[in-house]
Amino acid sequence: PEAEALGERAALAVARGRPTLIGDAVLDPHLPPMHLVICGAGPDAEPLAASALRLGWRVTVADSRRRALDPARFPGAQLSGSAPPLVANEVGADARTAAVVMSHNYLRDAEYLTGFLGRGLAYLGILGPRDRTERLFRELADRGISLTDDDRMHLHAPAGLDIGADAPEEVATAVLAEILAMLHGASGIPLRERSGPIHPD
């Protein structure tokens, strides 16, 4: 609310978490670290968790198969073995949360989604083919669970930027790059295609 009182540029600075020149002053927002919630502890979750931790983010890896939650695989991450629909509430998912649903199990993915919808996340990504996700949302709608406009705005399915990613480490890079682009209000296009400065005021 205080930032909004300073005007649109101040609100944008807070939303993006970047210093912004406003008149003769610089507004440098200090926000809590992003919280990445990885839903599924498969082998492809390891590089995603490690890369997010290197960015200084909080990371929670959730999987109801508790045997998959080996702390040695996810050093520095919090681990949640809760039932999928409960995870979003357990971690306090909010506007500083990015969730990536990647359990590779259709029913579990649907259950994770039911918890995260309607919570105003910064990013909601789903790994897997587009037609699988569309079928998933159709089935949720049949159960009376639908996406809000805010959910749709922050939904990324398939998750990640188009960089030709294949190996788990590459997929992690594509997903984190897309989350960063969303957080900073950036397009994700090659910098050489931008006109003007890299970091606009």
107-122 b/e with 16+ CB inside 10 Å = b?
Answer: ebbbbbbebbbebebb
Mean pLDDT, range 125-131, rounded to an integer: 94
Q: Above pLDDT 70, what percent of the chain?
A: 82
Mean pLDDT, range 182-190, rounded to an integer: 86
pLDDT of 189 reads: 82
* Res. 1: pLDDT tops 70: no
User: Lowest-confidence range among 2-6, 62-66, 111-115, 123-127?
Assistant: 2-6
> CA Rg, the chain, in Å?
18
Q: pTM for the whole thing?
A: 0.83
* Res. 93: pLDDT tops 90: yes
| pLDDT tens by residue, 32-71 | 899 999 999 999 999 999 999 999 999 999 999 999 999 9
DSSP state of 155: E
Q: How confident is the model at residue 190 (pLDDT cuts 50, 70, 90)?
A: confident
pLDDT of 6 reads: 62
140-171 b/e with 16+ CB inside 10 Å = b?
Answer: beeeeeebeeebeebbbbbbbbeeebeeeeeb
- Cis peptide preceding 158, ω within 30 of 0: yes
